[in-house]
Each structure stands twice: as C-alpha cells, then as structure tokens.
Amino acid sequence: MSVSLMFPEKPAIRLYDPLGDLLGAGDGVFSYTFDDVAKLSGHACPTVAGGFLLVKRALEELWGDEMPQRGDIRVTVYGAQDEGTNGPISQVFTLLTGAAADNGFHGLGGRFARNGLLRFQPGGPNAGAFRFERISTGDSLMLAYDPGVIPPAPTMGGDLGSILQGAGDEDTVRRFRDAWRDRVLRILADEGRSTVHRL
C-alpha cells in the first residue's frame, strides 16, 4: 500500500531507540520526516517546522557521524511552557528525542526513563533559546530559531483576517492555504541554514 506524502521526505531524522528495540518495535531504528511531525501536531506551520529543524541541527552537532540515541537527550526550553510557541515546539521535541516532561515514561528497572528530560526555565537572559544535551557525554549546545528571515507572502495576513471573520471566499482560502504551505516548504528546504543559529 503506497502512502502519499504531504511534505518532502527530506530533510529527515534517523535515531536509535534502545527502548523501542527492547520492546520489539523493529530494531529500534526510527526515521522521522516532517510528515510525522505534521501528523502529531495536526497541522504544519513555521513553529512546527522549527522544532523539527532544531532537533535535526542538535543531533548533527552532538552526534556527528554516530547514530543519535533517542532517550539520551535532555532539552531545556528557556521560557514558560505556556509562553508563545513553547508548548507546540516542545511537543515536537518530545516526539523526536523522547525527552518528556514529568508526565513522561518512568522507565523499566531504573533504565529508559524519559520523564524529566524536558524542562522549562522561565526568565533569565536566554529567553527564547533551546538547550540540547547529550546525556551520555555531557556535551550540549544552545540554539535559537528565527523563521522571520523567510517571510510570508504579503497577502497572508489580510487573507487570514478575512477567513477568521467569516468573510473569506473560496479564492481567499485557496490563496491563503497555498501561501502558508509555500512558506513552510521554503523553511524546510532551507534546512535551518538561515533560521537555526547556535548561541
């Protein structure tokens, strides 16, 4: 059975999850594309794309040529969980890295715990940044994401306003959808080169 993709297969993220391996989810090697993230989120937007690209960059920096390990990653979001887009972007982090807040998996026999690996730290000088740590080595990096360098179409704001007020006709809706999707595709095609920065 073929499944049509909503978004391109690349960029992609590939990780090994020892818990998945132990519990029979294949060999524990998982590949994630942006389709997976869009399905989790129920939509695609610059924030969700940013979460995907931030994780991709962090794994490349922290593991190099090695296979990244899901569950060996601690993430700190510098801001409150209900601030701005921190909630949605942190859910992307959890899907891809396994790092969960206190409600995450508590492990088996003292191993494979994922709870407490995602933390929110409101206030301070790092507001808006994200820290990724490879737990096994202690290596870490701070990243920031700014999709503003890939701007939306000039018509998007006005079209969305009309749609939300119930005044958008079919052409307006179509133009908005196409422009929104086009921006997400441009952000993904850039693969974080312009939008993801190391601090």
Q: pTM of the full predicted structure? A: 0.95
Q: Is the residue at 62 inside a domain?
A: yes
pLDDT band per the 50, 70, 90 thresholds, residue 4: low
Cα torsion 113, 50, 62, 119: sign: negative
Q: Is the residue at 168 inside a domain?
A: no
Q: Is the residue at 55 inside a domain?
A: yes
Question: Which residues constitute the domain of residue 107?
Answer: 12-147
Give yes or no for a cis peptide into 11 (omega within 30° of 0): yes
Question: Lowest mean pLDDT: which of 77-81, 125-129, 176-180?
Answer: 125-129
Q: Is the residue at 198 inside a domain?
A: no
- Tokens, residue 165: 């007020």
Q: Is the residue at 90 inside a domain?
A: yes
Question: Per residue in 138-168, pLDDT tens?
Answer: 999 999 999 999 999 999 999 999 999 999 8
pLDDT of residue 1: 40
pLDDT band per the 50, 70, 90 thresholds, residue 125: confident
- Tokens, residue 73: 């990653």
Q: For all residues of the chain together, what is the average pLDDT?
A: 95
Instruction: Name residue 194's amino acid.
Output: S
Q: Is the residue at 164 inside a domain?
A: no
> Are β-strands 73-77 and 130-134 bridged in parallel, bridged antiparallel, or unpaired?
antiparallel
For 92, phi then psi, to 5°, come to: -65, -40
